């Protein structure tokens, strides 16, 4: 795992932890659960098909052109 991947996993865990805390999930191990969610995020990110990666370009429609 590269430094970038490690940082991304930590960031995902921080967001997951914030979400769990906001939902009042004090009945579970917050840190373990946050890293479990981050790990699932990283796995899903790795298996994303090529055509779905990145931001989709929005094509502008031509104005005043008969179709």
User: pLDDT band at residue 45, thresholds of 50, 70 and 90?
Assistant: confident
Q: Per residue in 3-43, pLDDT tens?
A: 989 999 999 999 999 999 999 877 789 999 999 999 999 99
The predicted pLDDT at position 28 comes to 80
- Say whether pLDDT at 52 is over 60: no
The predicted pLDDT at position 50 comes to 58
Give the mean pLDDT of 53-58. Answer: 64
The CA distance from 18 to 30, in Å, is 9
Here the tokens at position 8 are 């991304």
For the chain, domain boundaries: 3-46
């Amino acid at each position: 795992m590269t430094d970038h991947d490690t940082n991304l996993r930590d960031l995902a865990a921080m967001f997951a932890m914030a979400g769990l805390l906001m939902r009042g999930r004090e009945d579970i191990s917050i840190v373990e659960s946050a890293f479990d969610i981050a790990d699932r995020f990283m796995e899903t990110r790795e298996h994303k098909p090529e055509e779905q990666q990145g931001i989709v370009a929005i094509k502008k429609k031509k104005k005043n052109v008969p179709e």
